Amino acid sequence: MTQPTRRLFGTDGIRGKANQAPMDAATALRLGQAAGQYFNRGTHRHRVVIGKDTRLSGYMLEPALTAGFVGAGMDAVLVGPMPTPAIALLTRSLRADLGVMVSASHNPFEDNGIKLFGPDGLKLSDAQEAEIEALMAGDLRASQVAPARLGRASRLEDAPGRYIEAAKQSFPRRLTLEGLRIVVDCAHGAAYKVAPTVLWELGAEVVPIGVAPDGFNINQGVGSTAPGQLAGLVRERRADIGIALDGDADRLVLVDECGTLIDGDQILALIAGSWQAEGRLRGGAVVATVMSNMGLERHLKGLGLNLLRTAVGDRYVGERMRDAGCNLGGEQSGHVIMADFATTGDGLIAALQVLSVLVQEKRPASEVCRRFTPLPQRLVNVRFAGASPLKDDAVQREIAAFEERLGERGRILIRASGTEPLIRVMAEAEDEALVTETVESLAATIRARIAA
């Protein structure tokens, strides 16, 4: 049998411009109907948990999804603005059949997205997404239940408190954050209430920024993709560390007391070393994507650990972790999955793992969080419209030529983004000049072929 194809779903759910297909109310309604039909199995009362970030368009997409699910016979539990990992947690905690997060993560407010979680709190597989998409393309009258079987919609008022307690449970009870001054940047996003609360309740002096969402300012000059303001404030307030989350708080980056950036690779190295020393690391390996720096791979090898690489996307990281029996994985961009605590990337809980090491070692973040020296690496994004230029013969010839020049001293990774119309051109090697030449030349060739 031919496997259904995915056209709506990308690397991380469905993404698009708000109020334009596929990120419009009509598509959200059909998604609710189709996913409701797909997960409406058995005679029990079916339930879906729906969360969102702080984008204005969430007010449009949330009720459209709710209508679809209710019409398919599912009770909808609405939790409002909450981090993506909280939706995964609540889906399992409430024994729901499905979890839905309305968010475009680190993208600007004009965009939005929809992510789906199964009853186990895990993101759906490619095959499951393809089946739901096939239902959306067909006749959805079968999803419409009789009037007596319609679902109900209700709000879960204590949802933030449930997640706050779960996050705190991940931090060792014998430790406290007392004496630490922490700047936390919530990107005017989903964690704007819960993240500062968790840090404060654990004893830290908290300096919050990015905690005044207005529907338009999510990720605007703040958050994990724009840590400049955070770095400046850490230096100004003489803080011990800065934490930057993204719009849905499933990833983070850090800055040390000097304002220097600490990316996801360094965070993975720190947690891996700490867990290995405590006998908590499973699988003898860490899972990361093809984007992670070769320096991380060499560092882990020195610890007697393997680095298992996957395609880009925390969903693929999670799948490989389960297959390999690992409990730690993530992405250079800051998605960190800790299977002992969460089923998906959780920026806040990852930050707490770093803070626990900081407290125990009693050394500055600039020393604690620098676990290896990364190889020179550069990434350039090339925007395009229409067909991908990567199949062009001239582009492929130049890629092959640079791969031959780099040999075993480095590597090239060129791929289309799964969330935006971008070609990502990355190279890394011990020779920084060669890295720069490689990326600039390849990006120029791709731009020329797009223009042609």
How far apart, in whole angstroms, are the C-alpha atoms of residue 175 and residue 356?
7
Is residue 143 within 8 A of residue 33, CB to CB? The reply is yes
Q: Which residues contact 69 (CB under 8 A, 6 or more apart)?
A: 32, 33, 35, 36, 48, 50, 76, 151
Helix (H, G, I), strand (E, B) or coil at 46: strand
DSSP E strand boundaries for 284-409: 285-289, 306-310, 328-330, 336-338, 377-383
Q: Which residues pair with 410 in a beta bridge?
A: 429
Compute and round to an integer the Cα radius of gyration of the chain. 22
**Six-digit token string for 57:** 């368009």
How far apart, in whole angstroms, are the C-alpha atoms of residue 308 and residue 284?
10
Of 205, 184, 207, 182, nearest in space to 195 by CA: 184
**Catalytic annotation, pick one of 57, 103, 105, 143:** 105
Q: How many CB atoms lie within 10 A of CB 290?
A: 15
Active site (annotated) includes residue 105:
yes
Cα angle, residue 168 at apex, residues 166 and 169 outer, rounded to 5°:
65
Query: What residues are labeled active site?
Result: 105
